[in-house]
């Protein structure tokens, strides 16, 4: 049996934040490439989605991030590097990936998909800072 890749718990806050930030940036970039050919109307859609994404991040995804932070706070000081989310969340991530692929292959217009991708991507970026703040607090503790 392979050993668990353990890290200090304080690093899991940053791992979580970086993953949410990376996925959010990926979704926003994809949205940009779908909306950019529309010119100014596409950029307006992108800006509107990113403005609305702040609220998705602060009031929707933030709840998940805070719940994960509380769970991490209760963990021992050394923990498996994949324990930043509960097992249930990995299943949700798999479902979201399949949903994203399905939407991308659907007949939905790219401007609509671009709006949805930017909305979710921006929300993930916004909520990622909750993890970074939690990580900074852990490092300040010692």
User: Is the residue at 42 inside a domain?
Assistant: yes
Within-domain flag for 1: no
Residue (of 60, 73, 59) closest to 135 by Cα position: 73
Q: What is the pLDDT of residue 142?
A: 64
Q: Where are the beta strands (DSSP E) in the chain?
A: 6-8, 78-80
Higher pLDDT, 88 or 115: 115
Q: Which of 69, 28, 18, 17 is nearest to 52 (CA)?
A: 28
142 or 60: which carries more pLDDT confidence?
A: 60
Number of domains, the chain: 1
> What was the pLDDT predicted at 31?
97
Q: Tell me if 94 is assigned to some domain.
A: yes
pLDDT digits (tens, 9 = 90+) for 36-87: 999 999 999 999 999 999 999 999 999 999 998 998 888 888 888 777 778 8
Sign (positive/negative) of CA torsion 103, 108, 114, 115? negative
Mean pLDDT of 91-113: 91
Query: Is 88 a member of any domain?
Result: yes
| Cα(70)–Cα(62) distance, integer angstroms | 12
Domain assignment of residue 109, yes or no = yes
pLDDT score, position 62: 94
pLDDT at site 115: 97
Cα pseudo-dihedral 17, 51, 27, 111, rounded to 10? 170
What does the block give as tokens for 76?
């021992």
Domain carrying residue 25: 6-141
CA 21/CA 99 separation, integer angstroms: 19
pLDDT in tens, 113-136: 999 999 999 999 999 999 999 989
Q: pTM of the full predicted structure? A: 0.89
The pLDDT of residue 132: 94
Confidence grade of residue 8 (pLDDT, cut at 50, 70, 90): confident
């Amino acid at each position: 049996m392979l050993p668990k890749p353990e890290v200090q718990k304080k690093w899991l806050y940053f791992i979580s934040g970086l993953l949410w930030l990376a996925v959010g940036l990926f979704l926003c970039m994809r949205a940009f490439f779908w909306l950019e050919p529309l010119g100014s109307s596409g950029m307006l859609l992108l800006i509107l989605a990113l403005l609305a994404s702040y609220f998705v991040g602060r009031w929707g995804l933030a709840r998940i991030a805070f719940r994960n932070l509380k769970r991490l706070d209760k963990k021992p000081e050394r923990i498996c590097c994949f324990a930043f989310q509960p097992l249930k969340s990995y299943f949700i991530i798999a479902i979201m990936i399949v949903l994203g692929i399905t939407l991308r292959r659907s007949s939905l217009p790219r401007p609509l998909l671009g709006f949805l991708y930017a909305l979710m991507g921006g929300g993930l970026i916004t909520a990622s800072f909750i993890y970074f703040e939690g990580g900074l607090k852990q490092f300040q503790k010692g």
